[in-house]
Amino acid sequence: ILNVEQSPQSLHVQEGDSTNFTCSFPSSNFYALHWYRWETAKSPEALFVMTLNGDEKKKGRISATLNTKEGYSYLYIKGSQPEDSATYLCASINQAGTALIFGKGTTLSVSS
């Protein structure tokens, strides 16, 4: 059974701080890693889909890295803003034709 873990569970930062979260997943038979942002009362929004070891992706102030050999991904937010407050989910898929397995998420709260 694929087990995806995220840390920390929650995080509170001040506006302007940079922060990062961790997603760990079994490295065997790795296929793809997804990151989502989920704001309250909205639908989860896809941020990145990452497949290659060493992959780095960036979207505005948010970036992510992937290490498939050791089974972890980091999500970075540079200069956090109140609108970044959300739950960030990662999900892994371990081989073609299987479903995404989600972690429980990291909830970020940014104070102005």
Residue 72 touches another protein, criterion: CB under 8 A: no
d(CA 27, CA 68): 6
Decide whether 33 or 110 has the Cβ nearer to another protein.
33
User: Residues 22-51: x/- map of binding to another protein (CB under 8 A)?
Assistant: ---------xx-x-x----xxxxxx--x-x
Decide whether 80 or 105 has the Cβ nearer to another protein.
105
Nearest approach in angstroms of CB 43 to another protein is 4
d(CA 51, CA 28): 13
30, 42, 74, 79, 94 from 24: Cα distances, Å:
12, 25, 9, 24, 13
